[in-house]
Amino acid sequence: MPDVSMSIAGSPAPPKVTLRELRVRGVHVPLKRPLATSSGTVGIAPLTLIDLLTHEGVIGRTYLFCYTPLVLKPVLELLRNLSAMLAGQPVVPLELDRRLQRTFRLLGNSGVTGMAAAGIDMAAWDALARAAGLPLVRLLGGEPRRVPAYNSNGLGIIGAARAAAEAEELIAPGFGAVKVRLGYDDAAADVAVVRAVRRAIGERVQMMSDYNQALSAPEAIRRGHALDGEGLYWIEEPTRADDYEGNARIARALKTAVQIGENFGSASDMANAIAAGACDYAMPDATKIGGVTAWMRCAALAEAHGVPMSTHLFPEVSAHMMTATPTAH
């Protein structure tokens, strides 16, 4: 076969870097405000810190949020095993992604394996950006700009009075939006919390809500109707995240936008959710979706289907990805 590779005159190629080692550490970070959701409480953040060392001296860095200390050691062990497997490989995210998908095809690419693969992908993109001397957003073809953000560091299931007081603290640094967890004993209690927070933040600050998958689909429709007049920007994960048909029924029934996505395990999950009409908005999680590589596939899907997109956790990398996402909101 003839060699048809081309080079573009005058455009400097990003330097090539080769993976030497993944150096990993586990840390437990106490949260300033332990987060009580309808699905459990998170009091400390078990994090895996990843340094992707290269033969050229550049180090790509990222971290993973493991949700429970129970999986911190297994994730570290898995990454150490993958370090031995990937040593000497070029830092080319699409190739690393292909290789890791093949490695885990029989076991499955979600859960702990997906998390480890995402960490490698994010660290690889960071190494490439550092090698090129560019912020990641420029490497992705975008331009640094301001990205709107909401404050979600609190407002767990803590009751109307405490939620109202906490909401005031959350907007104090200048945030234009906050997110409140719902899933109290009944619809009246959910509405009372939303109204208390609204009184505290005023009309100009946006309010999102999150049920963390607490409700059945019929109950979500009942509560959603009770909340439809409250001006919520979205209702997040009202029912089981992987029940796309149930979420579609809820989205059709409510005036308020339905948001899901933090539990998408791949761009295919997002494609299936969009095909089912399961959400008005989508918010993939950088780690669960599979890192920067998978995020950009989701961004293309969102643009093709006109779905506004936002992020979940990992602001350090997500801000870059949002800036390169056509439907970012």
The count of residues interacting with Mg ion (CB under 5 A) is 3
Kind and range of the H or E run holding 19:
strand 19-37
Phi, psi of 247 (to 5 degrees): -65, -35
CA distances 14 to 9, 91, 130, 137, 275, Å, are 14, 11, 10, 14, 37
Contact 273, 282 (CB under 8 A): yes
Cβ 92 to Mg ion shortest distance, Å:
33
Instruction: Closer to Mg ion by CB, 208 or 301: give it.
Output: 208
Based on its alpha-carbon atoms, the radius of gyration of the chain, rounded to whole angstroms, reads 21
Instruction: Closer to Mg ion by CB, 97 or 285: give it.
Output: 285
- Considering only 120-128, 158-166, 205-213, 320-328, which stretch makes contact with Mg ion by CB under 5 A? 205-213
Contact 116, 78 (CB under 8 A): yes
Query: What is the rounded CA–CA span in Å between residue 224 and residue 221?
Result: 5
Cβ 91 to Mg ion shortest distance, Å:
32
Query: Angle at which helices 93-103 and 112-132 pack, to 10 degrees?
Result: 160
Site string for Mg ion, 210-249 (x = CB under 5 A): x-------------------------x-------------
Cβ 1 to Mg ion shortest distance, Å:
49
Closest-by-Cβ residue to Mg ion is 210
- Considering only 123-131, 204-212, 223-231, 266-274, which stretch makes contact with Mg ion by CB under 5 A? 204-212
Cβ 234 to Mg ion shortest distance, Å:
10
Q: Is 285 in the site for Mg ion (CB under 5 A)?
A: no
Query: What is the rounded CA–CA span in Å between residue 293 and residue 184?
Result: 37
Tokens found for residue 304: 């093709």
- Considering only 53-61, 98-106, 255-263, 284-292, which stretch makes contact with Mg ion by CB under 5 A? 255-263
Cβ 182 to Mg ion shortest distance, Å:
11
Calculate the CA dihedral of residues 227, 230, 232, 235 and round it to 10 degrees.
0
Instruction: Closer to Mg ion by CB, 83 or 318: give it.
Output: 318
Tokens found for residue 24: 């990993």
Which residues are at the interface with Mg ion (CB under 5 A)? 210, 236, 262
